[in-house]
Amino acid sequence: MQTVNETIEKFKTRNGGMMTQMMMNEVELQYIEMAQGGDGTVAMCGEIREKYYPLQPDSFFQEVCDGMEWDWRTASAADVAEDWRQPS
């Protein structure tokens, strides 16, 4: 399992350039939801937490969100997703 710092570095580099912006948007939604105690299903990609992070506490996702400057404290993942769906 990756550490908080390793996870932040992976996302900041988009996993060495292998992650698209859409993938990053999904990750942001999932991590915000998991930082708030959820299971990561908000991005409609299955139960991410149960499958990939069964032993990680909320604090792990909170620290990653902080390092990525993703607002997990006041934003709901559903609201973030809705904002992205709005036309510019």
Q: What is the pTM of this model?
A: 0.85
Give mean pLDDT, residues 61-78.
Answer: 90
Say whether pLDDT at 87 is over 70: no
How many alpha carbons fall within 13 Å on the CB side of residue 63?
13
The more confidently predicted of residues 78 and 18 is 18
**pLDDT tens per residue across span 14-64:** 998 999 998 999 999 999 999 999 998 887 777 899 999 999 999 999 999
Neighbours of 65 (CB within 10 A): 21
Say whether pLDDT at 11 is over 70: yes
Q: How many domains does the chain have?
A: 1
Host domain of residue 46:
4-85
Alpha carbons 10 and 19: distance in angstroms, whole number: 10
C-alpha separations of 55 from 36, 52, 69 in Å? 15, 9, 23
**Contact of 27 with 12, CB cutoff 8 Å:** no
